[in-house]
Structure 1
Amino acid sequence: MGFWRSALETLAKRKGVRAVIDNEIMLEDMEYVFGKNGSAQRFVDKTIVITGCGGFLGYYLTNCFVYLKSKGFPYRKLILLDTFLFGRPRWLEELERHHEDVEVHRFDIARDELEQAASALSADFVIHMASIASPSYYRKYPVETIEANVLGLRRLLEFYKHRPLDGLLFFSSSEVYGDPAPEAIPTPETYLGNVASIGPRACYDESKRMGETLCYVYHQTYGMPIRIVRPFNNYGPGMALTDKRVPADFAQAVLRGEDVVIYSDGRPTRTFCYIADAVDGYLRVLTHDEFGCFNIGMDRPEISVRRLADIYREAAAELWGYGGEVRFIVSEEKDYLTDNPNRRCPDITKARMALGFRPEISVERGVRRYLRYLRKELLPV
């Protein structure tokens, strides 16, 4: 497996993937999203600001807008902001090189002066997802995590409160629920949460909760067109192999031909939502006409982490004859399991009824698509 190990290391050094959509899985995903989502016309001749563009969701949403332009629904300008704490992805350089209507800026939304960048930040739609989302990383950078979700959001809201906007979307998290009581599974938006305010995950969980409060207050006070999403366990193309969440860890293991390692007893359960379904939901929330907070995720089936590992093993065995096993070890990161929720499953009734959101891609199918996407990205290496 020396070739694949070398290829994986090279792919990781790229800190991202290509922005020119030439991967058949991505093209199929884009066709799927916009085949069921009727929002394309809403973005024509609009300026869209995306904070946190360098991450998993930033990559995917950016490619969605580039795809729309290629299909005759051109935005006016795409403005992409990020601190690039973990390095600037190469795909952003390629994006700027191929698209004159795209601007990429190294910008700390919590610290840099917004007024000096007023002309660059003139927008019709704002998508704020500038935050560290992986527990291993936000435990390492807790202050930066709080700043992005609270200070950065507050500064954005102040900047845009008297400026015309079609919509501002705040990416909250399913982590605002903490570890729900058994009777709150599936978890509706009305559940108030069981969250630790002190602990290694609190920097993320509580800052997302405070972010939602800010959104509510600014909507109520200034009538801002704010919408909130609570994502539930997304995975798929664009998720870096160095992400340190289980979908990426398992993908890296099977691609290397190594055993799949689980840093728990494998019994915590989750539902996993393939990114194409999730992005369909995010765009529906962004273009929704009323203030609201929506769970966006897959509501079935709720499976154990161990079962997810087996799904990866089965997919890799089918695709290229993988023969690794599952191993259980204790993480060297002492807080790895502290305050980790035992169950995570959304009630998406509200999104289904108000938005027409209906995720369709099973975890078995989604994992295969993710692995096929990664193999295609690795072949040129």
Structure 2
Amino acid sequence: MIYKNYNDILSILIIFTFINIVQIINGHEDKILALEKRIQDLEARQQQYPEVTFLTYKDRKRILITGGAGFVGSHLVDRLMLQGHEVIVADNFFTGRKRNIEHWIGHENFELINHDIVNPLFIEVDQIYHLASPASPPHYMYNPVKTIKVNSIGTINMLGLARRVRARLLFASTSEVYGDPEVHPQKETYFGNVNPFGPRSCYDESKRVAEAMCYAYAKQEGISIRIARIFNTYGPRMHMNDGRVVSNFILQALQNEPITIYGNGKQTRSFQYVSDLVDGLIALMNSNYSMPMNIGNPDEYTIEQFAFKIRDLVGSQAKVIYRDPVIDDPKQRRPDITLAKSWLNWEPKVLLNDGLNKTIAYFRNELLVKQHSERNVFFPNEWLHSSNVNTMKTTKNIEL
């Protein structure tokens, strides 16, 4: 065949090339579909964030939260991030989990530092929420010397940081400073009844000395301090093996195992939902009150009442059994929150049944997780106002 010009030759080459391309595509359809699926999976896994409030440089604060990957700390991170602040979390992950705050990793306002505060930390911040410390008996008794170091040396390091950068520091103290109280309910003016040599003393006494150090720095160095004496708190993201009443009872009820009460069950506790605590901590940080303040729920229940309530909410048939009492276990615990009401206009809002149902739902989902790629991520109510929340494919549990 003789071609008259180059245009004919070019047309023939284009036709043959197109035919070859079509044949190649038809022979590799499966590979192309697989590549398309991988692209879709990568797009779905792209991190999505809720809409956060925009704050100008005058209102936006740089806030350090020690222990920010823990139960309470992670909820505080959520609230402050949504408010538009720059949040820095320092955590050594002894009891905290990266999964509690992984939904913020990569956000321009968020930074995570793997750091043990027993060692000094040098950063620039405006406020410090010092929450770092094991808080449940099994955790703080596991290494009592380390617990004392965290609450003493760690607190000195944070006070030193506050002094250097002139930041305000809120210290997360505890109702355990009252020990086994002989005064009921407990006012901030009560000095407590603590056994300095008992198994709980590593936590109780180190928190008491940390309070003393806060006031020594405030008086000598002129730094601004706040002290929150936190009473029993529960909610999603609690550590499943922390040995506390709420987590123990819920897990045992969900798995139809005997619900174990240590002692006769007549000892009392007052439980607050974690979002109420976060409200109180932020209000206290931004208040003008610098003496210790109780942050807790004054509604009081016996441990026995609590066990049956959780069993009923779960719908379990688990038996309630009794074991020997724990050494130095307080017989009664109830906060007087008169100061919080008058100075912060704060009091708990979440009803016990509502808070327990959210916590039970979280633990139920946690038990369903069978592989690492699955996620039991809890998002607070504020996230529901963001359109991005619908795109978070890995979420198994969203608060309603």
TM-score, length basis structure 1: 0.78
Bigger RCO of structures 1 and 2 (CA < 8 A, at least 6 apart): 1
Pair 1:74-2:84 in alignment: yes
Counterpart contact for 2:70–2:96, Cα < 8 Å: no
CA–CA separation in structure 2 for the residues paired with 1:87 and 1:215: 24
- Counterpart residue type for residue 54 of structure 1: A
For 2:214, the aligned partner's letter is C
SS at structure 2 position matched to 1:151: helix
Structure number with bigger Rg: 2
User: 1:366 corresponds to which residue?
Assistant: 355
Q: 134, 138, 145: which is aligned to 2:140? A: 138
Q: Which of 285, 302, 321 is the equivalent residue of 1:327? A: 321
Distance 1:194 1:286 in 2: 28
CA displacement, residues 116-136 of structure 1 (integer Å, 9 cap, x when unaligned): xx2xx2111100011110011
SS of the residue 1:49 aligns to? strand
1:133-185: per-residue Cα shift (whole Å, max 9, x none)?
001111111111111111111121122214232x210001000001111xx10
Aligned equivalent of 1:64: 79
Give the Cα separation in 2 of the matches to 1:21 and 1:170. 29
SS at match of 1:79: strand
Deviations 1:165-215 (A, max 9, x none): 2x210001000001111xx10110000111111111111000000011111
Does 2:98 correspond to 1:89? yes
Displacement of 1:271 after TM fit?
A: 0.9
| Alpha-carbon distance in structure 2 between the residues aligned to 1:54 and 1:363 | 25
Aligned partner of 2:165 in structure 1 is: 163
Aligned partners of 1:129 and 1:310: how far apart in 2? Answer: 32
Q: Secondary structure at the match of 1:172?
A: strand
RMSD: 2.5
CA distance, structure 2, for counterparts of residue 242 and residue 303 of structure 1: 23
Distance in structure 2 (CA, Å) of the matches to 1:308 and 1:379: 25
Distance (Å, rounded) in 1 between the aligned partners of 2:243 and 2:58? 33
SS in 1 for 2:292: strand
Match of 1:266 in 2: 265
Unaligned runs of 5+ in 2: 1-46, 375-400
Change (3 A) 1:200 1:248: same
Shift of 1:373: 3.4
4+ residue runs of structure 1 moved beyond 3 angstroms?
Answer: 19-22, 40-44, 91-94, 373-381
Task: Report the CA distance shift for 1:311/1:44 in structure 2 as closer, same or farther (over 3 A).
Answer: farther
1:348 lines up with 2:337 in the alignment: yes
Among candidates 129, 132, 135, match of residue 127 of structure 1: 129
Write the mapping of 1:148-297 to structure 2, written as runs, cut at 5 A: 148-165=150-167, 167-181=168-182, 184-297=183-296
Change (3 A) 1:136 1:259: same
Distance 1:201 1:246 in 2: 16
Partner residue in 1 for 2:116 = 108
Structure 1: stretches of 5+ with no match in the other structure:
1-18, 23-39, 331-335
What CA deviation, in whole Å up to 9, does each residue of 1:229-279 have, x standing for no partner? Answer: 001100011212112101011111122232312232212111111111111
Counterpart CA distance in 2 for 1:261 and 1:21 is 41
Q: Tell me, in whole angstroms, the C-alpha distance in 2 between the residues paired with 1:42 and 1:355.
A: 26
* TM-fit CA distance, 1:374: 3.2
Distance 1:311 1:143, change over 3 A: same
Q: Per the alignment, do residues 242 and 164 of structure 1 end up closer, same or farther by CA in structure 2, a change over 3 Å counting?
A: same
* Contact kept in structure 1, 2:70 and 2:100, CA below 8 Å: no
Superposed displacement of residue 103, structure 1:
1.4
Cα gap change, 1:309 to 1:149, in 2 (>3 Å): same
| Post-superposition offset of 1:20 | 7.8
1:89 aligned partner, one-letter code = K
- 1:207 alignment partner AA: S
SS of the residue 1:337 aligns to: coil
What letter is aligned with 2:142?
Answer: K
Aligned residues with identical type, % of pairs: 38
Normalised to the residue count of structure 2, the TM-score between the two structures is 0.75
Q: Specify the SS of the correspondent of 1:303.
A: strand
- Aligned pair count? 322
Structure 2 residue identity aligned to 1:101: N
Partner of 2:139: helix, strand, or coil? helix
Amino acid of the structure 1 residue aligned with 2:176: E
Aligned mate of 1:46, from 61, 77, 81: 61
CA distance in 1, matches of 2:138, 2:102: 27
